[in-house]
Structure 1
Amino acid sequence: MTLSDSPAQLTSAVNALASLPGMPEKIDAARQACTQLRWHNALRRRIPEAAAESRVRGAWASGELDGARLSVDIVRDLMRGAVTWHDDPDPVEQVMRGVVAATAETERLRPVVLTAPMQALARLHTAAAAGLVPDDELGRPRRDGEDCREFVEIGPAPPATEARERLLRVVELLASASTLPVPVVAALAHAEIVTARPFTRGNGVVARAVERAVIQAGGLDPTGVAVPEAGHGTGGGPAYLGGLTAYTRGDAAGVGLWLTHCCDAIVAGAAEGEVIADAVLAGRRT
């Protein structure tokens, strides 16, 4: 699937997807799960603490989906500065460094992700890919002749020209999010970034970070305590890639399967957020 060209067509297309059989119920379930999380007793006064732990678990889960596996405890220590990265990091550390930086950056993107989406995308990619690509590739889409070899399981990356066009449509989608169902906007932005692969590297990390930022900035989870990345990992990497592969078919059934996966991921992510809130309330996360 590719997003429509004009704002009116885009709005119509997104609303049509939100009306696919079974989708209204899935969207409502995602909203209800986040609303329930929002009223957790721990979030009356301790949102920053819970949100910080959410970013820890989000970074850990996002790294797992990229094949970079570190324990949650190590990721937590890295994010709070209790331990430092090695001077000569191995490939896992190189990837996780970007995952941690991009997930941490989402905390600062709330004012801009829906108002200046291209700026937000550039900031996320710079965080995600620093040290993995040459500096002149950071924060910008692929140029003609530049390729991306990520997500080969779902097919080859489109040419750079097409990838840039699709990224511009993602920008238009995010700028229109205030009038559209937030779970669908977040899911489409995620899938388009992964399938178009507009950057030479770091597309999955950017896509998952964008989804987290949109869910928060769009008011679905204003506390930032839900962990959608963990929701995507609930069925393991194959389920995540299966949903993205279905999306690439471009038909209603395939796109609907991905949207369902994303709504379910939000529900599971809100449940993980409740686990975090319970731990904060009990004084186990300080």
Structure 2
Amino acid sequence: MRAGDRFADRYRLDSPLGQGGMGEVWKAYDVELGRAVALKTMLTGGTTDGPVRRFRREAAIGARLQHPGITVVHDVGVHENRLFIVMELLVGEDLAHVLARSPDGLAVAEAVGLTWQAAEALEAAHAREVVHRDLKPANLFLQADGRLKICDFGIARTAEATAGLTVTGRPFGTPPYMAPEQWRGERAGTACDLYALGCVLYALVTGAPPFPAAEQAWALMRRHLDEMPPGLRSARADVPYELAELTASLLAKSPAARPPGRGSRGRAAEGDPARPVRRDARCHA
């Protein structure tokens, strides 16, 4: 694909934003509505394999969820045998990039505010019986106005259909942020997102997830199944006791022991935890 190409005679490709294993994302222009958008398309055509099903599910779930903290899906279609999704164009950067510049973690109030925003968006998804299953800093996008968006529902499922394994027998998710039930290949309900949220909060406060991301998968699996990470206050003395306790409860090994719903946002810190944080802008989707 090249800049200037058009999809469905409506979306003009302007510049590439990124590429992954399944597709690529372009900054595009909707010539009918006169607005900039993000267009995500599959790298290959076809209509029956697993990646295509995931791609279609991402579009369907994205269109189903309507919340300020979740990326908006505008359109979906097929162009020259390529599926594509049209989404709102986000300006800012994901939290993985934010953390790369802050290896020792963010200010506690900032970390809490970002986690609070993610929790509110998750609550909206869970209310519609959607489980993300891959929450991590790279899928949390901080916009230029300080508002956070959850992105990439490519492996999300409805709560009643959240089997834990791929067709090849491998668990879904990103190892440093996967809940014990995901590692075991069990049904992954909304509590798995709360565990991942705890891992994200831990990373935002300390600069790294609870267990070293560089470890081999088998070592990470053992740690997530059997070990509790060091408490937040052992890493940072300025962490409030309540925040350390909340993080530990989110990281409970048993899904039933994790705080339900609004409990994942409560009593985290004093002040206004949802205060937006402005940062330098980049475009993405």
Larger relative contact order (Cα-Cα within 8 Å, sequence gap ≥ 6): 1
Name the TM tier (shorter chain). under 0.3
What's the TM-score, normalizing by structure 2?
Answer: 0.24
Q: TM-score, normalised by structure 1?
A: 0.24
Which structure has the bigger radius of gyration? 2
More helix by share: 1
Of Structure 1 and Structure 2, the greater strand share is in 2
